[in-house]
Structure 1
Amino acid sequence: MVDRQDIDAAAARIAPHVVRTPVMDVAGFGLPWSVEFKLEQVQHTGSFKARGAFNTMLGGPVPKAGLVAASGGNHGAAVAFAARALGHRAAIFVPKMAGPAKIGLIERTGADLYVVDGEYANALQAAQAYEAETGAMQIHAYDAPATVAGQGTCLREWEDQGLRAETVLIAVGGGGLIAGAMAWLRGARKVVAVEPETSCALNAALGAGAPVDVEVSGIAANALGARRIGQICFDLARTFKAESVLVSDEAIATAQRALWQERRQLVEPAGATALAALMSGAYVPAPGERVAVLVCGGNVAPDPLG
């Protein structure tokens, strides 16, 4: 299991390569109390994923065959960006549902891009076949210790920036970001996992007592559309008793619009999913409970300035 020492080491390793993303404390969004935000959508390539990508590449030797990754879009863009920055070749496999904005973002990095039919699970199968054939190093989007440790630097950084909230809401797809948060916090703050009703791998796993396959669809599926939750995330969620809530596509879209209209923060549906839990009432804080929301991605489709 990833621990705080792993995350400390990751933070030192990636510090020259990633953005220290801003935080803000704001009122509004129809809520009777203010909310602390961390704006990871301003990270390189528009999501927190660069943290795990750089940590993996800097943690050991990269083979001559280079790197390979499967992604719904954001992870692939981050791996491609980090590979270019560090001088490595990268092959990125994404499903068509990644959409033109994320596919275009990967194309601009110069990585070898392969678009496959289906969803993330199909891209992962293709990436694993490429790994076996070429000897390239696989960088898993969420269920690998180096990835999770890299994502954990986000909460480490946020605490260093003065996070006050007792409760942190985090959107979940495959579970890398929330796993890193739980590995860093280790129960010191409540972690609330927020998933779309139609892409809810962690919620289903907690209900079943083990990771299980789920169907994925909806407006956030190209970022939160993992068919099965990562084992690392599942184990941490059970150990530290993460709370799980679900939100509708309508609630996600409402939160996405509110972030733009009230704070001029342009985010993709996945980036608004955690806030949707507060605005819709899927998560209701106790009286006096201070809450924080991790805004995790900004690759809007279609790209308004593309």
Structure 2
Amino acid sequence: MTASATPVRVRDIEAAAGRIAGHVRETPILALESGAFDIAAPIVLKLESLQHSGSFKVRGAFNSLLTLGVPAAGVIAASGGNHGAAVAYAAGRLGHRAEIFVPEISSPVKVARLKDYGAIVHQTGANYGEALAASRRRVEETGALTIHAYDQAEVLAGQGTVAREFERQATAIGGVDTLLVAVGGGGLIGGMAAWTGGRMSGPRLKLVAVEPERCPTLHAAFAAGSPVDVEVGGLAADSLGATRVGTLMFPIAQRAVDDVVLVPDEAIRQAQLALWSRLRLAVEPGGATALAALLAGRYQPARGERVGVLLCGGNVDPATLA
């Protein structure tokens, strides 16, 4: 795919930012003190875990619902939990009916939140792929609008607003060189890469994808040269457990994602507990995955490198952080 055929461009992300303004939060950044987490590099956290519905995904959900016509049957989505919560929240705010299909591994906290947002919840299938298949059958029955968790242009454009927002915020405090981003199906890093790779002026923000060792979708796709199915499991599977990355994001990632690193579950858990114990930030395993790359030494900053870390989700039971 050539640059001219990119399904999501900078102008689409600019339009999405204007469209969803007033519906989503501008989440804060936090510049940490020198030596935080025993890392020599300066670290700036982007607290997207404080977003409406508990994750960045509400950006893509609002952009999709505000761009596409929603029929009387409402909207249907399949999700490991966070995408469903985002769609349910956005649909409720805009007055639409929502049905959400989640796999059986979804956390009780996320399922409860879906119901709190007024969605009809179907918990079915061993993984996201099986929940997605069930949601597609339901769409055929009802004629409802479907919003894909990551492989949809409107979703990518909405998620790309995270990079646009972070770039502006970080520039105001001296900028960062690199941003670590967790990957599941790739909608977030695909949208962010469309922004960073499509900018024609100024230094480009280096994007590093971080995946759990047991959910290596982008790593496997890069090795194969195209999206491929992988077996998924482990601590962060409920939010990062897509069985393959999206076809729309992959050519964007090939151009603008600089590296992919894998982290073990133990490092993800360590990062999650460190964020709680040191900063009192309640972050789910998927949300802590990017920081795990630093704590485990899987990403080692160069001397003087300023590193941004995206905390992408906060849907966690606080009792698990004790």
Whether the aligned pair in 2 keeps the contact of 1:170 and 1:293 (CA below 8 Å) is yes
Q: CA deviation at 1:7?
A: 0.3
Matched residues in 2 for 1:288 and 1:304: separation? 35
1:253 aligns with 2:269: yes
Alignment of 1:1-306 (within 5 A): 1-27=7-33, 28-163=36-171, 164-186=175-197, 188-301=204-317
Contact in 2 for aligned 1:143/1:232 (Cα 8 Å): yes
Contact 1:100 1:302 in 2 (8 A): no
Could you state the TM-score of these two structures normalised by the residue count of structure 2?
A: 0.92
Contact 2:231 2:243 in 1 (8 A): yes
> For 2:217 and 2:68, how far apart are their aligned partners in 1?
31
**SS at the partner of 1:245?**
strand
Q: Does the Cα contact within 8 Å between 2:87 and 2:98 map onto a contact in 1?
A: yes
Q: Unpaired runs of 5+ in structure 2? A: 1-6, 199-203
- Deviation of the 1:236 alpha carbon: 1.0
Structure 1 unaligned residues grouped into runs of 5+: none
List per-residue Cα deviations over 1:29-53 (Å, max 9, x = no partner): 1111220111001101110010000
Once the two structures are TM-superposed, the CA of residue 186 in structure 1 deviates from its matched residue by 0.7
Change over 3 Å in CA distance of 1:133–1:302 after alignment to 2: farther
Shift of 1:304: 6.6
- Cα offset, 1:174, TM superposition: 0.3
RMSD, aligned α-carbons: 1.3
Relative to the length of structure 1, the TM-score reads 0.97
Distance change in 2, residues 1:303/1:108 (3 Å): farther
Displacement after TM superposition at 1:237 (Å): 1.3
Rounded to whole Å, the distance in 1 between the matches of 2:17 and 2:111 is: 28
Kept in 2: contact 1:53–1:139 (CA 8 A): yes
Inter-partner Cα distance in structure 2 for 1:105 and 1:43: 14
Deviations 1:155-208, CA, capped at 9 Å, x for gaps: 111122234111100000000110111011117111000000001100000001
Over 3 Å counting, the alpha-carbon distance change for 1:263 and 1:80 in structure 2 is same
1:49 and 1:75 in contact (8 A); partners too:
yes
Counterpart Cα distance in 1 of 2:251 and 2:10: 16
Secondary structure of the 1:292 match is: strand
Amino acid at match of 1:189: L
Q: Is the 8 A contact 1:101 1:303 kept in 2?
A: no
Partners of 1:80 and 1:244 in 2: CA distance: 31
Q: What is the deviation of 1:74?
A: 0.4
Deviation, structure 1 residue 96: 1.2
Percent of aligned pairs with the same amino acid = 54
Structure 1: 4+ residue segments shifted above 3 A: 301-305
- How many residue pairs get aligned? The number is 305
Q: What code does the residue aligned with 2:197 have?
A: R
